[in-house]
Amino acid sequence: MLKKWFVKMASILFPNRVVAFAYQQLTSPQIRKLRQHELTVLDQSEKETFKFQDFDIQLYAWKGGPKSVLLIHGWEGQAGNFADLIQELRQHEYTVHAFDAPSHGFSSTGKTSLFEFTELVGVLIKKYKATKLVSHSFGGDATTYALIKNLDIIIDQYVLLTVPNRFLERIDDVAQQVGITEKVKNKLITRLESEIGLDVAGLNVSDFVEHVQVKRALIIHDTNDRVIPIERAKKVNEYWKNADFLEIEGTGHFRILRTKKVLDQAITFLNA
């Protein structure tokens, strides 16, 4: 509470400094520690370092069979978050590909953004000739944006384990967490738009999905997700004619990746 009060005061007195602070929050992901089980699953993979822009990207592959799938983690996530799903997929004869995004997991670090993340997703879908995808959280944002920028990519099945909608909502979330004022938030948006050359208000998953080349999609989202409210996922589904929506309870935002019934639903869909 004290931190938010301080930031609000600083927003009035030193707005440019607070914009820089908020910008750092959006471009400097925190690396979260993996569980031992997740590290063990990563150790079972074949690893490759992939050069992308100024980053050394950590790639992973688990050879399991003729079918293949690419996993896309969320912002501040990493490939190891999919450990339980990876084990299930291998039992169903899948070869699994995953990666740590720029400045995430075991990839090299540096200032990054959702847009570098997005570009990498497009590159890797083409590298692996992936036709089946699974994403978590903001990985869905990066993936749908990558697909709208690469309309030559055709995906057969795509499972989204939670999904956001508007990029502005991400900025609103950060503004609320940090405690910046509306004036400073608008300055932050102006800075972002000047650097990326895009209208932030136009970066909406619900707009992308109307045009992406995805034959079938499945969105699975928890009713009580506290990170991405389910209403945002429902809005995406409303505009995605090829998508089914599965509303669940009791997993929250992160445990959804470790819940057996969810993983079974995802694999059943990928196998259809």
Q: Tens digits of per-residue pLDDT, 69-86? A: 999 999 999 999 999 999
One domain, residues 146 and 265: yes
Share of the chain above pLDDT 70, in %: 93
pLDDT of residue 13: 56
Domain span at 88: 35-165+204-271
Question: Phi then psi for 197, rounded to 5 degrees?
Answer: 70, 30
Band of residue 238 on the pLDDT scale cut at 50, 70, 90 = very high
pLDDT of residue 10: 58
One domain, residues 264 and 156: yes
Q: Which of 6-20, 21-35, 163-177, 180-194 has the lowest mean pLDDT?
A: 6-20
Is residue 145 predicted with pLDDT exceeding 90? yes
One domain, residues 9 and 44: no
Is residue 174 predicted with pLDDT exceeding 70? yes
Is residue 1 predicted with pLDDT exceeding 50? no
One domain, residues 60 and 5: no
One domain, residues 191 and 211: no
- Looking up residue 128, the CATH number of its domain turns out to be 3.40.50.1820
pLDDT of residue 14: 57
pLDDT of residue 9: 59
HEC readout, the chain = CHHHHHHHHHHHHCHHHHHHHHHHHHHCCCCCCCCHHHHHHHHCCEEEEEEECCEEEEEEEECCCCEEEEEECCCCCCHHHHHHHHHHHHHCCEEEEEECCCCCCCCCCCCCCHHHHHHHHHHHHHHCCCCEEEEECCHHHHHHHHHHHCCCCCEEEEEEECCCCEHHHHHHHHHHHHCCCHHHHHHHHHHHHHHHCCCHHHCEHHHHCCCCCEEEEEEEEECCCCCCCHHHHHHHHHHCCCEEEEEECCCCCCHHHHCHHHHHHHHHHHHC
One domain, residues 124 and 59: yes
The mean per-residue pLDDT over the stretch 183-208 comes to: 82
One domain, residues 224 and 263: yes
The mean per-residue pLDDT over the stretch 87-113 comes to: 94
Q: Which of 8-12, 21-25, 36-40, 163-167 has the lowest mean pLDDT?
A: 8-12
One domain, residues 248 and 156: yes
pLDDT of residue 8: 60
Is residue 190 predicted with pLDDT exceeding 70? yes
One domain, residues 58 and 111: yes
pLDDT of residue 6: 58
pLDDT of residue 208: 95
pLDDT of residue 2: 39
Is residue 3 predicted with pLDDT exceeding 70? no
One domain, residues 137 and 208: yes
One domain, residues 14 and 116: no
The mean per-residue pLDDT over the stretch 239-266 comes to: 97
Considering 149, 180, 197, which residue would you say is the last residue of a domain?
Answer: 197
The mean per-residue pLDDT over the stretch 37-61 comes to: 97
Ordered strands of the 132-136 beta sheet: 46-52, 55-62, 94-99, 67-72, 132-136, 155-161, 214-222, 243-248
Total domains present in the chain: 2
Average pLDDT, rounded, for the chain: 90
One domain, residues 251 and 182: no
Considering 155, 182, 197, which residue would you say is the last residue of a domain?
Answer: 197
**Exposure of 46 by Cβ count < 10 A (0-12 exposed, 13-18 middle, 19+ buried)?**
exposed
